[in-house]
Amino acid sequence: MSDSERETRHKARMARKKAVIDAHIAAADEERGLLLINTGNGKGKSSAAFGVLARALGHGLNCAVVQFIKNRSDTGEEAFFRDHPRVKWHVMGDGFTWDTQDNAQDTATARVAWEQAMVYLKDPAIDLLILDEFTYTLKYRWLPLDEVTHELDGRPAMQHVIITGRAAPEGLIEIADTVTSMELTKHAYHAGVKAMPGIEW
Amino acid sequence: MSDSERETRHKARMARKKAVIDAHIAAADEERGLLLINTGNGKGKSSAAFGVLARALGHGLNCAVVQFIKNRSDTGEEAFFRDHPRVKWHVMGDGFTWDTQDNAQDTATARVAWEQAMVYLKDPAIDLLILDEFTYTLKYRWLPLDEVTHELDGRPAMQHVIITGRAAPEGLIEIADTVTSMELTKHAYHAGVKAMPGIEW
């Protein structure tokens, strides 16, 4: 096959692809608030949510973040976003389960954070709400799944919500619009590299 | 099992978990620039890179972004980041292959963007470089893999690089430190929902 034949075939293949994609785009015409879940054991669940936060702010949206596990306020993302006039940022965790080692305390902490989240879930002025590391509150049964799905279903029609964390339960996945599973293929940490500021936190 | 027995067992299990995790953290003591790849067919590859960009800026790092496919400058992420004094932002694509339908033009476009990327790959003042949608330049053979891996290997020792895009080739994965595959579990777009500003772009 000559170069010009190859170019002609490439052009024809791409023209067919474009027709299929354009038809899909035309068919997708509903507008509403989305529920996105970033789950899986890989990296990027929270950072993808914070990337969307940047994107949403770039479009002028009002945003809120509730962090359910994290109890440190020295992260790069918080330093970067917390003073933005259209972001409300709440670090409401108590650290990891293996740090607290106290299930009753973890349950109480999760409840307080969830009360804060519910304030935003009733507020149509919030366009994007990020519930960071929220899945653990369900995994460890600190919060009842049916209460959570009920509140999510009842939120303002145009409000987007992003939930992050490993092991998202089936009942949450059922009501979500978009679910991504971040899978770990390779991790520098296992090769002995320290958690680098600006990359890992 | 009584509640107090359950609490005692939980505490013991978490104490064992903490010992294992603390030992791992102590063993990971190497500091260097990382090569991260976000690949797979799911969402979040670019947004996870932009979330890390926010994190890196929060830690005071100097950053650069080269977009290899995108040719639009109306994205939320660009609006949000482009005026930041520690970000250099380059939209250098020509659109998707099915839009250009011209392989020779795509090859030339990729080369120009790669020349810009190489300027940063030789500059130790750049702490984080994002090569967005870069994998397609390798998939379509617009750039030779061995040239790319050679330049990545020779970059400044403390420089982090994040590469995004579907179908990262094996030769790139081999030299990466951390590789995440974003897998699509469910997507609102397939249910007829329009690409929402602030979420999809």
Q: For residues A201 and B22, give the distance between their C-alpha atoms in angstroms, rounded to a whole number.
A: 17
In a domain, B200, yes or no: no
B100 touches chain A (CB under 8 A): yes
The lowest-confidence range among A21-35, B75-89, B136-150 is A21-35
Distance from CA of A124 to the nearest CA of B (A): 16
- Same domain? For B118 and B132 the reply is yes
B14 — pLDDT class (breaks 50, 70, 90): confident
- Over residues B26-34, the mean pLDDT reads 81
In a domain, B13, yes or no: yes
Number of domains in chain B: 2
Q: Which residues of chain A does B181 touch, with a Cβ-Cβ cutoff of 8 Å?
A: 42, 182-183, 185
Measuring CA to CA, which residue among B161, B178, B134 is closest to residue B33? B161
**Closest CB to B14 among A34, A98, A179:** A98
Distance of CA B101 to the CA centre of its chain: 26
Top residue of B177, B178, B193 to mutate, by most chain A CBs within 10 Å, is B178
A108 touches chain B (CB under 8 A): no
A-chain residue closest to B54, CA distance: A77
The pLDDT, as a whole number, for residue B99 is 74
Domain range spanning residue A125?
33-183
The pLDDT, as a whole number, for residue B112 is 96
In a domain, A14, yes or no: no
Q: What is the mean pLDDT of chain B?
A: 90
In a domain, B47, yes or no: yes
Q: What is the mean pLDDT of chain A?
A: 90
The pLDDT, as a whole number, for residue A31 is 83
Contact yes or no for A101 and B14 at CB 8 A: yes
- Over residues A43-63, the mean pLDDT reads 97
- Same domain? For B146 and B99 the reply is yes
Top residue of B59, B140, B172, B190 to mutate, by most chain A CBs within 10 Å, is B59
A190 — pLDDT class (breaks 50, 70, 90): low
- Same domain? For B11 and B61 the reply is no
A158 touches chain B (CB under 8 A): no
Q: For residues A72 and A94, give the distance between their C-alpha atoms in angstroms, rounded to a whole number.
A: 9
In a domain, A190, yes or no: no
A-chain residue closest to B30, CA distance: A193
In a domain, B83, yes or no: yes
The pLDDT, as a whole number, for residue A189 is 65
The lowest-confidence range among A42-51, B20-29, B133-142, B158-167 is B20-29
In a domain, A4, yes or no: no
In a domain, B194, yes or no: no
- Same domain? For B43 and B121 the reply is yes
A-chain residue closest to B33, CA distance: A196
The pLDDT, as a whole number, for residue A26 is 74
- Same domain? For B164 and B150 the reply is yes
Contact yes or no for A193 and B15 at CB 8 A: no
The pLDDT, as a whole number, for residue B28 is 67
- Same domain? For B102 and B159 the reply is yes
The pLDDT, as a whole number, for residue A28 is 67
pLDDT over threshold 90, residue B10: no
Which three-class secondary structure state does DSSP give residue B44? Answer: coil
pLDDT over threshold 90, residue B157: yes
Contact yes or no for B177 and A183 at CB 8 A: no
A186 touches chain B (CB under 8 A): yes
Q: Which residues of chain A does B59 touch, with a Cβ-Cβ cutoff of 8 Å?
A: 76, 79, 197-198
The pLDDT, as a whole number, for residue A76 is 94
- Over residues B159-172, the mean pLDDT reads 96
The pLDDT, as a whole number, for residue A5 is 83
The pLDDT, as a whole number, for residue B75 is 93
Q: For residues A75 and A57, give the distance between their C-alpha atoms in angstroms, rounded to a whole number.
A: 19
B-chain residue closest to A73, CA distance: B58
Q: What percent of chain B has pLDDT over 90?
A: 66
B25 — pLDDT class (breaks 50, 70, 90): confident
Whichever domain contains A113, its CATH number is 3.40.50.300
Contact yes or no for A194 and B81 at CB 8 A: no
